[in-house]
Amino acid sequence: MTRFRKTVLSGLAALAIGGTAGSASAMEFGTFQNRLNGATIGLPLGALPPAGLYTGLETAYLGMLGNGGAPAGNWQTFFHGITSGTGNPNLPAIAQAVPLLWVPGWGNWFGATYSMSAVVAFYVYSTCNLSATTGSPSSGPSPNSCSAGPFSGNNNTIQGGGFVTANPTFNPINLSWNLGGGYFVSAGFNFMAPIGTRTFGTPNPDYWTLEPTFAVSYLGSNWNITGNFFYDINTKSSNVCCVQDPGFQNGQALYGDLHALYKFGKWEMGPVAYFELQTTSDTGGSGFGGVGSCNTTAFPGGLCGKYQTVALGGLVGYDFGPVNLQVWLTDQIVGNNTPAGVGSIDVWTRLGFRLWAPEAPKPLVAKN
């Protein structure tokens, strides 16, 4: 794959950075705001493409294979009680994201190339009828049941669901520096705005998320070796419109997407990985019916434990010319306080292409 094609790929999610974020991978109560871990695998975000307008489509098939049992007492086990397989709330699930990246080619900003972007994500969700707010903790959710989980014996039923828009992600600034020798670094800032679909049961939160970003890429000798890193800072929830607990505030979290891809001809392949680590504790929350806040131990292990996730996998990609295709698979090997358990397997696809590029300057012709 050419250097141009490699950098084009980087642009396609210069903010899918968080775009699929918020789609279908809540870690703690209400955290559908946070990035969808693994969403930027395969993208050398340390670099930017040439001036132009870029887009694409990324699809995540979450929890499609393997074990995905959620720990008993997890917030999302109660609030997103539809379970499948061995106990995943709302899994398997499909999430999609459409990014739009603009590289204006305005020249250097502090020696860097500038870009801005936005991502709109979509997902399918389903909810239970949360008619009861009391009960005794159970040993865990049962497959395809709304009456299991922390509040067992309440005969809750499927209430609704649908295909909805996640809170969009905006990237007003991203700066990329070419360090020479095939090395690139970038830094930027994203924010997730609470303007997605807001109906009862929709896991779109009512708070903002602020996200500094950093990436480093090596694009030389047919290699694309990259680490994309993000740090989420969440504001406080204020209402219960969409199953948020008033006064609840998710802790801050560090995310990293990693890959080492080797390119031969039109093909690329190599190992990939991601991790996520909650760095500060959740706070606040009045709880529902007097139980369920961060200040109670009503559930086994509490409701607001810090989450940790690690997943490994592999990617294969092909350059069709005007369109690039990447497909990768990740297998979760660590899953603490997360909806997907160890052994949960996700499958991803990404298509990317350029919508528009500025015309090349015409050569000057001297008149006779």
SS (H, E, C) the chain: CCHHHHHHHHHHCCCHHHHCCCCCCCCCCCHHHCCCCCCCCCCCCCCCCCCEEEEEEEEEEEEEECCCCCCCCCHHHHHCCCEECCCEECCCEEEEEEEEEEECCCCEECCEEEEEEEEEEEEEEEEECCCCCCCCCCCCCCCCCCCCCCCCCCCCCEEEEEEEECCCEEEEEEEEEEEECCEEEEEEEEEECCCCCCCCCCCCCCCCEEEEEEEEEECCCCEEEEEEEEEEEECCCCCCCCCCCCCCECCCEEEEEEEEEEEECCEEEEEEEEEEEECCCCECCCCECCECCCCCCCCCCCCCCCCEEEEEEEEEEEECCCCEEEEEEEEEEEEECCCCCCCCEEEEEEEEEEEECCCCCCCCCCCC
**pLDDT tens string 102-147:** 999 887 788 999 999 999 998 876 655 444 333 333 333 333 344 4
C-alpha distance from residue 347 to each of 59, 280, 316, 334 (Å)? 8, 30, 12, 17
Rounded Cα–Cα distance for residues 297 and 126 (Å): 27
Best-predicted range by mean pLDDT among 92-106, 139-153, 261-275?
Answer: 261-275
Average pLDDT over all residues of the chain: 73
- Which of 156-160, 305-309, 317-321 is least confident? 156-160
pLDDT band at 292 (very low <50, low <70, confident <90, very high): very low
pLDDT of residue 303: 54
**Among the four given CATH numbers 2.40.160.40, 2.40.70.10, 2.60.120.10, 3.40.190.10, the one describing domain 3-356:** 2.40.160.40
C-beta atoms surrounding 240 within 10 Å: 14
User: In the Cβ-directed half-sphere of 56, how many Cα atoms lie within 13 Å?
Assistant: 30
Please state the pTM of the whole predicted model: 0.78
Give per-residue pLDDT as tens, 166-180: 899 999 999 999 999
What is the pLDDT, as a whole number, of residue 44?
95
Across residues 59-83, what is the average pLDDT? Answer: 50
Extract the tokens encoding 320.
């069709």
CA pair distance 197, 239, nearest whole angstrom: 15
More confident residue, 219 or 122: 219
Q: What is the mean pLDDT of residues 184-189?
A: 97
Closest CA to 103 of 63, 159, 19, 45: 45
